Structure 1
Amino acid sequence: MNQVIETDVVVVGGGPAGINAAIAAGRTGARTLLIERYGFLGGMSTVALVYPWMTFHTMEGKQVIAGIAQEIVDRLQALKASPGHVRDTCGFVHTITPFHPEVYKVLVIDMLKEAGVKLLLHSFVDEVKTNGDHIESVRVSSKSGPITIQAKTFVDTTGDADLAYLSGAPVLQGREADRLTQPMTMKFRMRGVNLNAVKQYMIEHADEFYRKTPVSELPNLPLSAVQGFYKHWKEANLPINRDQVLFFTGPEEDEVLVNMTRVQGLDGTDVEHLTEAEEIGRKQVLMVADFMRSSLPGFEKASISQVGAQIGIRETRRLDGQYSLQIEDVTEGRRAADVIARSGYPIDIHDPKSKGVTAAWIAGDGAYDIPYRTLLPKRIDNLLAGGRCISTSHEALATTRLSPSCMATGQAAGTAAAMSAVSGISPQELDTAALQQRLANDGAILK
């Protein structure tokens, strides 16, 4: 029998954006339901081991993301599950934020319950029913059979713009010329790493590491990130289209998270492509781990302790919205009258075909504005997007896709969805100034 649930706001996708959207909607006074296909929350931050969170600050160290995202960090710190914001010792950004994913999974459920949010895990949205340009309901497949969920407003935080796509809202994918997307990465953890040996090698061989690595400060900084070992990687000559070693330390003292595998040319919205990507990614994990044990100082006794439950996905579909954030908006640090979030993360494009990463930095005060219009589709009057699938160009997505940015746009989308539902208007009709005031009152940084 097809069950029916009626609510005010439905958030689809329980990653960083969806968690923050649902908490925001619940706190704003709307009956809110969060749907997640896995048996736990966290999205790429947990299921794919995307760690640490990068970044809440500009390159100069000014904090530009706060609100619910910062509250989560504060509560993790109180649980001794995060050191808070620490210096990035590879130097790509000013700060990164390590966290314990298992504690994060539990904490965010507590926060959702505190906000009065209903949660449906092990549930997958596979159909959207519309009436013209209006979503009436979504259908969820589950162990309990199909469930129809009716709501006033809907928030797409699936990462892949699944809800927008199924509703008929215009979506884009990959680069404009060929639709190719940034590569996927199977991340993994290793234990038994002698991080003191790694740090000492970096101090003695600074030329083998990323040019922005703060080597002179390393003796007085806890090691948080390592980018380089260029000579070792080149000599290994593994069949992985990558140009460097990259790993992050923690959560434990002898533990690292390795971000080095690279699966290119496959579509993260195609199940056969995803199947192939999982196979390739896991084989690459074994190759990389063997290389690190045999070649890198400090890894002689290291072993794989965890591999992602699924491959990490940087880019698939995204909304073709009322405004598409462009690379110039980012690099010029442009302001927007309808700003609902800011970010200080630079352009960071993992090339769809070659080995490299294209980086570009932000001018002005080191941050750029994300407009409310990027959350709104060109059609479908009761849908918003948050997180990785907001409306951007391929190049601008290379900054908005990062977890803190996703948390910030998620909070904005959830707040807007709830304000619209409670007021009986569409998100397009919502007074942007009132939304901005509510976000500011809830700790978001908009100036």
Structure 2
Amino acid sequence: MNRVIDADIVVVGGGPAGVNAAIAAGRSGAKTVLIEKYGFIGGMSTAALVYPWMTFHTTDGKQVIKGIAQEIIDRLMEMNASPGHLRDTVGFVHTITPYHPEVYKMLAVDMLKEAGVKLLLHSFVDKVEVEDNRIRSVQLTSKSGRIDVRGTVFVDTTGDADLAYLSGAPVLQGREGDKLTQPMTMKFRMRGVNLAAVKQYMLDHPDEFYEKTPFSELKDLPLSGVMGYFKHWQEANLPINRDQVLFFTGPEADEVLVNTTRVQGLDGTNVEDLTEAEELGRKQVLMVAEFMKTLPGFEKAAISAVGAQIGIRETRRIQGQYTLQASDVVQGRRFEDVIARSGYPVDLHDPKEKDVKVAWVAGDGAYDIPYRCLLPQKIENLLNAGRCISTSHEALATTRLSPSCMATGQAAGSAAGLAVKRSVNPADINIQELQAVLIADGALLS
């Protein structure tokens, strides 16, 4: 007979969205469980080395994401594990936020414990019990056997909409037509990098770097990221379908995180495709690292870390009560049921080609994410947060970023807490009450 754990709120997926959802749910007073398949917290931010977090601000520098996400940054700064929000010297966004992943792993656990959350690591959800359009329990495979976790409200922060999919809620994947998704990337770190030499080369050869690089300010800014080395990349002619090098500095003074590999055409929800992606990604890491050693400033550099898994930008997403569109993003649309905002542009990595399609946010530089995007169809006691909320393929290219996921996670956890408190389904909570809770907890909704 399976072991049974009872809770008010069950959060599945321990990435940035899940951490913030569980903290918010726990703080509401509800008995909360967070389930994570790895032996550590952080999701793509730690398992796949997604770094830095970008962005908490608009292109003009107005902060639009705070709340629990900002609490995490503040506490990391107190622990000397983040410099806070820095100017993006790539020039793509206004700010990026470096952090030390190993410290984040432990800080997240500390904050979950402070909120009274029960954490279950090494636990894989492979079955969902549904009755009358409501999830009754999720079933885990673990080292200690099968476990049933029963709850009143469930929050899916798996990134892949696993809980929604297993429960029978309608989901979509990829773009319309061929259903292809944005490419995967195996990220890795290098140490022994001479960042002063990198910056000097940028100043001496601005034509080899991204056109929005803030060269006029670069001498006085800490180097936080670099996109370019166009000539070197073209001459190397590596069998990787992109057109430049991209890396970010830190967390150590001689260290960078390289975001340059690209694995296309594979399905992140198919185990055989994922197996192939891991192989291809790691082969590309070795190839790119050898190339990087030919760049000015990288002569003595070496690989210091590779992701525990390949980074996944897109898989399944729910069909919700509303589907956020790219037009909503670029027009900076406002919604009455706003529960989060974002200033990150549409940043769509083509599923087949080299290019990245970018569309900037108009108006005040931010757009609203409505509560209805967190509510799947059919399943009445389920909320989604993170990159599997209800969006189009194009709009997902902005909502998938970690700070946005943190914000929707906090909203989902707070909404779940209200649903339990009021004994109603998540779709029936008072949106003004939810917004008041979020604002009181530091979220920015205007």
- Identify the residue that residue 140 of structure 2 maps to in structure 1: 140
* TM-score, reference length from structure 1: 0.99
- Identify the residue that residue 433 of structure 1 maps to in structure 2: 432
**Aligned positions of 1:9-408 closer than 5 A:** 9-294=9-294, 296-408=295-407
Q: Which whole-Å deviations, capped at 9, do the CAs of 1:247-280 have from their partners, x for residues lacking one?
A: 0000000000000000000000000000000000
Aligned mates of 1:46, 1:136 — CA distance in 2: 31
Q: Displacement of 1:216 after TM fit?
A: 1.3
Aligned mates of 1:358, 1:227 — CA distance in 2: 16
Aligned mates of 2:297, 2:209 — CA distance in 1: 16
| Partner amino acid, structure 1, of 2:428 | E
| Partner amino acid, structure 1, of 2:168 | G
Q: Displacement of 1:8 after TM fit?
A: 0.1
Equivalent residue pairs, number: 446
Q: Displacement of 1:22 after TM fit?
A: 0.1
Aligned mates of 1:347, 1:134 — CA distance in 2: 34
Aligned mates of 2:376, 2:245 — CA distance in 1: 39
Aligned mates of 1:8, 1:20 — CA distance in 2: 17
Aligned mates of 2:103, 2:123 — CA distance in 1: 22
Aligned mates of 2:416, 2:179 — CA distance in 1: 30
| Residue 422, structure 1, aligned to residue 421, structure 2 | yes
Q: Displacement of 1:421 after TM fit?
A: 1.3
Unaligned runs of 5+ in 2: none
Q: Displacement of 1:167 after TM fit?
A: 0.3
Aligned mates of 2:417, 2:33 — CA distance in 1: 11
Q: Which whole-Å deviations, capped at 9, do the CAs of 1:142-166 have from their partners, x for residues lacking one?
A: 0010000110000000000000000
SS in structure 2 at match of 1:248: strand
Aligned mates of 2:6, 2:117 — CA distance in 1: 13
Aligned-residue CA RMSD in angstroms? 0.4
Q: Displacement of 1:285 after TM fit?
A: 0.2
| Partner amino acid, structure 2, of 1:10 | V
Q: Displacement of 1:418 after TM fit?
A: 1.2
Unaligned runs of 5+ in 1: none
SS in structure 2 at match of 1:215: coil
Q: Which whole-Å deviations, capped at 9, do the CAs of 1:42-77 have from their partners, x for residues lacking one?
A: 000000000000000000000000000000000000
Aligned mates of 2:31, 2:176 — CA distance in 1: 39
Aligned mates of 1:363, 1:216 — CA distance in 2: 25
Aligned mates of 1:64, 1:203 — CA distance in 2: 32
| Partner amino acid, structure 1, of 2:36 | E
Q: Which whole-Å deviations, capped at 9, do the CAs of 1:372-420 have from their partners, x for residues lacking one?
A: 0000011100000000100000000000000000000000001001110
SS in structure 2 at match of 1:444: coil
Aligned mates of 1:416, 1:303 — CA distance in 2: 46
* TM-score, reference length from structure 2: 1.00
* Runs of 4+ residues over 6 Å off in structure 1: none
| Residue 410, structure 1, aligned to residue 404, structure 2 | no
Q: Displacement of 1:422 after TM fit?
A: 2.0
SS in structure 1 at match of 2:304: strand
SS in structure 1 at match of 2:420: helix
Aligned mates of 1:27, 1:176 — CA distance in 2: 39
Q: Which whole-Å deviations, capped at 9, do the CAs of 1:349-387 have from their partners, x for residues lacking one?
A: 111000111000000000000000000011100000000
Aligned mates of 1:227, 1:438 — CA distance in 2: 40
